[in-house]
Amino acid sequence: MFYFLISFYSIINEFDRIIIQFIIDHFSHSREMFYDIFFLSGDHLFKGGAMIAILWYTWFIQEGIEKDRKRMYLVATIMAAIFGMVISRSLTAILPFHQRPLFDISFHYFDFQMEKYGFDKLSSFPSDHAVLFISLATGLFLVSRKIGMIAIAYVLLVILFPRVYLGYHWPSDIIAGGIIGAGITTFFIKSDWIINLISKFTLPVLHKRPALFYAILFLVTYQIADMFDASRAFAGFVKHIVQN
């Protein structure tokens, strides 16, 4: 088993290095391209904002007898995405530290100095971006294949590719994160027990107190669009108050 794991790790490592070198060799790493890709990678409007807009659009186009159930699928998707982020952060904390390709001296990324943003202290495996956004895209796909395919393509090209291009993640970080996100969302939606439990507590509020329901839904989806930055800042504030 030990030798199998060593061999598997060697294969994944070689795969990662081949893909990274291919991107370095075949995609421009000029200052202009860097700032364009960097903007896409960091702007929450083009990441979470776009995905949440697609989710809200999908919510309101539901019609017919399956309307409520498909909306519960979307609620399950949101819950799965949040749960996936918890799993991702936990794995990052407990697994051995995985340095980002940006700091691998065997790769030549850019001819100019760039800000590293403390990434050298953050393990790259798995990619929480892949967990979160593949989770959302998977849920959208299970509700509407057409919308889901658009969402998956958007996530891969606009959200995840820039993170490999910039050296923030190895391809295996992205793949592992995507598997985690897709797996959790699929489990949540395919589980009748989970869907029935969500429906039991959610549908009465949606039908009897829609203003309250949509206020809560907006707040939760806003945090996803914001990549939970505000939530993390608030948690840090509360921790500071408690400790002092």
Instruction: Tell me the pLDDT tens digit for each residue of 57-100.
Output: 999 998 888 899 999 999 999 999 999 999 998 998 898 888 88
Within a 10 A sphere around the Cβ of 193, how many other Cβ atoms? 7
Share of the chain above pLDDT 70, in %: 91
Residue 26 has pLDDT above 90, yes or no: no
Tell me what the mean pLDDT of segment 187-212 comes to.
Answer: 93
DSSP 123: -
- The band of 32, judged by pLDDT with boundaries at 50, 70 and 90, is confident
Residue 223 has pLDDT above 70, yes or no: yes
Tell me what the mean pLDDT of segment 214-241 comes to.
Answer: 84
- The band of 116, judged by pLDDT with boundaries at 50, 70 and 90, is low
Residue 2 has pLDDT above 70, yes or no: no
Residue 118 has pLDDT above 80, yes or no: no
Closest to 133 (Cα-Cα) out of 26, 218, 204, 224? 224
Residue at token pair 């340095």:
99
Tell me which range, 6-10, 104-108, 112-116, is most confidently predicted by mean pLDDT.
Answer: 104-108
pLDDT given for residue 99 in this prediction:
84
* Cβ atoms of 134 and 177 closer than 8 Å: yes
Bond preceding residue 126 cis, omega within 30 of 0: yes
d(CA 89, CA 87): 6
* Cβ atoms of 132 and 228 closer than 8 Å: no
Q: Which residue has the higher pLDDT, 105 or 224?
A: 224
What is the DSSP secondary-structure string of 162-177?
HHHHTTSS-HHHHHHH
pLDDT given for residue 27 in this prediction:
82
Token duo for residue 102 = 């940006």
pLDDT given for residue 8 in this prediction:
64
Token duo for residue 193 = 């027990």
Tell me what the mean pLDDT of segment 32-43 comes to.
Answer: 84
- The band of 43, judged by pLDDT with boundaries at 50, 70 and 90, is confident
C-alpha dist (Å) from residue 144 to 54, 78, 87, 168, 229: 11, 16, 26, 31, 29
Residue at token pair 């065997």:
106
Residue 4 has pLDDT above 70, yes or no: no
d(CA 55, CA 60): 9
